[in-house]
Amino acid sequence: MPDVEVRPLRLRDVAQMAQWGKHEDLRFQAYNFIGRNVSDFLSWYLMKRQPFRKWVYGVFADQLLIGYITVKQYNREQKSAEMGISFNPDWTSKGFGTEAVKRYLELVFERFDLERVWLKTASFNARAIRCYEKAGFVTYDLQREPYEDQAMPITLVNQWPEWFEYHDELAWMDYIYMEIEKRDNEK
Cβ–Cβ < 8 Å for 44, 31: no
Cβ–Cβ < 8 Å for 49, 56: yes
The arithmetic mean of pLDDT across residues 142-150, rounded, is 95
pLDDT for the residue 164: 96
pLDDT for the residue 74: 94
Q: How many CB atoms lie within 10 A of CB 35?
A: 17
Residue 1 has pLDDT above 70, yes or no: no
Cα–Cα distance for residue pair 84/111, rounded to 1 Å: 17
All structural domains of the chain: 5-185 (3.40.630.30)
Cβ-proximal residues to 50 (8 Å cutoff; 6+ apart), any chain: none
pLDDT confidence band for 51 (50 / 70 / 90)? confident
The string of pLDDT tens digits covering residues 61-110 is 999 999 999 999 999 999 999 999 999 999 999 889 999 999 999 999 99
Cα–Cα distance for residue pair 136/156, rounded to 1 Å: 31
Look at the pTM and tell me if it is higher than 0.85. yes
pLDDT for the residue 184: 86
